[in-house]
Amino acid sequence: MPWNLFLGNASHRLIAYIYGTRYPTSVVFYNNTSIKPILDRTGMGDSSLLPEHELKMRPDITDTTALVVFEIKPSSETGLQDGIQKIQTYLLALNRTVTLADKFSAGKGFEGEILIQFAQGQHIWRLEWCTTAPGVTQYRWTRSQERFNSNAAAFQAGQWVEISEQELKQYGGWVAQAIEGMVDRRERLATLSGAIGVAIDIVGEVAVIVISTATASERGASPHGGKVLPFPAKPAPTATPVQLPKASGM
């Protein structure tokens, strides 16, 4: 698989997993499950009403408890428009078949960030995501402008720049493999224990992935040890921070 698709798939998987840690009491399906089995397993609707072309539709996140749907896309205008179109298609299919009084809607307000620290003093990478239009959660990778020895120092500096294609090719595969392995291990652990951890700390030969599932208003000191970034309040940045594009939808 090309490195950009590999990293994109891993980004989808990690963001979807973080959604599950945010809403542990929700029944959530991801893009490995299509609409038909979602309806059949939950008993929420009549899947026989789905035409052929809708049977294999797979929203990235379908929360059947909150009745919301999200599509995860890279941060670009093409990604935004494609996401909006897919969300509209998913909602038409779901709401035509569900028998509930309440209908599915496009999700809102899902955002977060993850910092990745490479060995040997490399730049700190950041994966950030936010819901830029109803149901469309867009993500982007950036890196610290300078080299830091810790994620906390990079977070405090708050200066992020675009990652070059050369850097993405060099490190993207390692990051993607680390993400896939981490999520797989955590999902198997959750299956065995019946619980999903709030904070995750994975150390590999290439990168240290440090994740906090706290929202912006909940960030504070973490009880889970030194490698879990506590996301302290940042000082006023010396440069305008990079922002994901905002949009109100079509």
Statement: residue 233 has pLDDT above 90: no
pLDDT in tens, 209-220: 444 333 334 433
pLDDT over threshold 80, residue 232: no
**Rounded Cα distance, 93 and 49, in Å:** 9
User: Do you know the residue count of the chain?
Assistant: 250
Q: Which of 147-156, 178-187, 206-215 has the lowest mean pLDDT?
A: 206-215
- Note whether 26 and 63 are within 8 A (CB): yes
The whole-angstrom separation of Cα 115 and Cα 229 is 8
Query: What pLDDT does residue 168 have?
Result: 84
Mean per-residue pLDDT, 89-100: 94
Q: How far is CA 137 from CA 67, 80, 132, 204, in A?
A: 16, 8, 6, 28
Q: Would you say residue 223 has pLDDT above 50?
A: no
pLDDT tens digits, residue range 15-48?
998 999 899 999 999 999 999 999 999 999 999 9
Residues 6+ apart with CB under 8 A from 61: 16, 19, 28, 29, 30, 31, 68, 69, 70, 71, 72, 107, 137
Query: Which amino acid would we find at residue 68?
Result: V
- Binning pLDDT at 50, 70 and 90, where does residue 180 land? confident
Q: How confident is the model at residue 151 (pLDDT cuts 50, 70, 90)?
A: low
pLDDT for residue 185:
78
Start-to-end Cα distance in the chain: 33
Pairing type for strands 112-118 and 105-106 reads unpaired
Q: Is the pLDDT of residue 208 over 80?
A: no
pLDDT: which is higher, 184 or 27: 27
Closest CA to 198 of 16, 23, 21, 25: 21
Residue 196 has pLDDT above 90, yes or no: no
Q: What is the dihedral of CA 21, 103, 98, 42, to 10 degrees?
A: 20
Higher per-residue confidence, 10 vs 15:
15
Most confident region among 63-77, 99-113, 163-177, 191-205 by mean pLDDT? 63-77
- The per-residue pLDDT for 163 is 87
Range 182-186 contact pairs with CB under 8 angstroms and sequence separation of 24 or more: 182/14, 182/209, 183/13, 183/14, 183/17, 186/17
Record the tokens describing residue 41, joined without a space. 């397993």
| Distance, CA of 134 to CA of 128 (rounded, Å) | 17
